[in-house]
Amino acid sequence: MGVLAGSVLLASAGSFVGRLIVTFCYVYILLILLYVVSTMLPLPYSIWLSRIQRFLYDVCEPYLRLFRRILPAVGPLDLSPFVASLVLVVVASLVSNYV
């Protein structure tokens, strides 16, 4: 394998990883949005809805908890999902500009 072929392969792998990170960020933003909506709406009891809500809680809550420690409370408003999503958008933007 020549030097040129190796650098093309490395660039291709870097591009793939960059696209993977950007996709992960946007999917995680979607999961945060679903989590916020599911906590705000009174949903009827269903075993499947309960499992989905538990999955969303397990996936989103550790990341949101990082921002809840830093952000001050603004009455009944929880700004952590907004700030957490904004951080993910910035990361996705930086990665997409780099790749």
Q: What percent of the chain has pLDDT over 70?
A: 88
**What is the secondary structure of 75-97 as a DSSP string?**
TTB--HHHHHHHHHHHHHHHHHH
**pLDDT per position as a tens digit, 49-76:** 999 999 999 999 999 999 999 988 788 8
Q: Please state the φ and ψ torsions of residue 77, each to the nearest 5 degrees.
A: -80, 135
pLDDT higher at 31 or 77 = 31
Q: Which residue has the tokens 């999917």?
A: 27
What average pLDDT does range 12-25 have in this prediction?
A: 87
Q: What is the pTM of this model?
A: 0.84
Contact 64, 80 (CB under 8 A): yes
